[in-house]
Chains A and B, each alone.
Chain A
């Protein structure tokens, strides 16, 4: 029953949006979609095929490759049919944008903030796009592959001002 439902959903998505099956993902079954289609796909998945639950939203950085630089992974689950499905969205360039799916799955809000914080993926139409895990004046996006691991000078009381001067406070200047 549930396998049939999954096949039906995969076939419908392939036909309607012209999607390809991803060879990389071993589980769950995954389709690759262009970034501009993701909102429509989410809408169809939730309303027509009962994938009412967004279980996973994350990204991978493929630096130094440029096309695609990122892959964003959406994982869906259907409570009524007990099947999982995922969508991978390749994004090109250093400063990619993606439209929010917050209107369809409210739970996407924080995941998308995490995408912005950790990968620098711009989320269009997001209600509250702030950094979530890193401090609000942080520079760079730590989970990108070109972001070094370590080499951050610790900021203590005696050298706080000195290091603080070197940081770029774009937001302070605006405010």
Chain B
């Protein structure tokens, strides 16, 4: 077998300090199979004792060629792949993709579908933050948080299963609306969840927020100023932790977010602890949004009536020839979008998730690019962890909240 190590050293030579060449500092490989890196992430660390001097992330272990693969699938087939990028925020990815298609096709989404989308995406945000909270606390040696987080997440997955038949990879949102209407138990289940959740959130606060060990390990760790965060293209809780109240839901509302009353929480210090507080408060705000969306959940159609893009209801197929033709066209060749391109961002739990979608007028995407928050935030990792101890590194990785499937696509 070839020896790739020697070449890597030559390649990485300009990334480490002069002292590494003299042997004063140690190069340490961390990962790719390390439990605290939240996926298959390899880090090359240059260490002076325990202090990190340089950190070189090496990504791509989870590269699945989704962007390339989408170019060979029809529009509606390609949507299935968007679930698989960020597997903790599947409905959010669907939403971003559907919004881009709807903008290209100038397709209107009925208010009921928009409200259901908002409810599910906010539930997903809570579920994503629960996984983040559990693993982040586990990294910092608070074992029980992991179990509590996954317990609550289970009820969110049940709600998703109720709607779509799938716990994680739902593909429930379709261009023009939803796959099917929400079941009658949906409202009861969501109401039960939002009644229960704020109390649970208080328990988490009691477990961690004033916990001296947790505070010692998170405060003044991984600091980043607002200017640096913006310059590094950071978004989401990483940016908000530094005090910039940038949230796409507020700045450029989509899917009817302008109707809901919620606050964008921000931190002041930009350290791991502030990012933790921001995410905790975001979960609380998500509950508020779900409450409002449920209270005024409108009746009406759950998907658009534009038959060029949206299949007709099953009942119509028996009586209308036109419906049969549309159904046949949609199931054999799919729909074609007019020539054009669009870049549309949404606020995923991790930050700004943007879809650049280009159509050449055919029934397949000409190009889809996902601007994924994990990819951009991982870039900031070397800046965050410089000068900290190796033990703090796992806390910093946890605090930027990456999913490697989202990063490598």
Contact = CB atoms under 8 A, between A and B. Distances in A.
Interface of A: 24-28, 52-56, 58, 60-61, 73, 75, 79, 82, 84, 86, 105-110, 127-128, 130-137, 142-143, 147, 149, 160-161, 164, 169, 171-172, 175
A132 B376 CA distance: 13
Contact of B246 (A28, A79, A127): A79
A108 B63 CA distance: 20
A108 B341 CA distance: 21
Contacts of A54: 233
A127 B15 CA distance: 9
Interface of B: 1-2, 4, 6-8, 10-11, 14-15, 59-60, 63, 65, 67-69, 71-72, 103-104, 230-235, 244, 246, 251-252, 339-345, 352, 354, 356, 358, 366-367, 369, 371, 375-376, 378-380, 408-409
Contacts of B15: 128
Contacts of A82: 251-252
Contacts of B369: 56, 58
A171 B68 CA distance: 26
B354 A142 contact: no
**Which 8 pairs from chain A and chain B are nearest by CB?**
A107-B233, A58-B369, A133-B60, A110-B379, A60-B367, A107-B232, A26-B342, A106-B231
Given A60-B366, A175-B6, A55 B371 contact: yes
B7 A24 contact: no
Given A106-B231, A175-B7, A26 B352 contact: no
Nearest to B371: A56
Contact of A130 (B11, B232, B339, B358): B11
Interface of B is mostly: mixed
Contacts of A56: 343, 354, 356, 369, 371
Nearest to B246: A79
Contacts, number: 117
Q: Could you say which of A55, A84, A135 has the most chain B C-beta atoms within 10 Å of its C-beta?
A: A55
A106 B251 CA distance: 23
Contacts of A52: 230-231
Contacts of B1: 160-161, 164
Given A52-B231, A147-B68, A164-B1, 13 more contacts: A28-B343, A56-B369, A58-B371, A75-B343, A82-B252, A84-B343, A86-B343, A105-B231, A128-B15, A133-B59, A136-B7, A142-B65, A149-B69
Contacts of B6: 175
Contacts of B251: 82
Contacts of A28: 343
Nearest to A144: B68
Nearest to B235: A55
B63 A134 contact: yes
A84 B244 CA distance: 17
B354 A55 contact: yes
A26 B340 contact: yes
A135 B15 CA distance: 18
B63 A73 contact: no
Contacts of B252: 82, 84
Contacts of B358: 24, 60
A107 B376 CA distance: 7
A73 B356 contact: yes
A149 B366 CA distance: 14
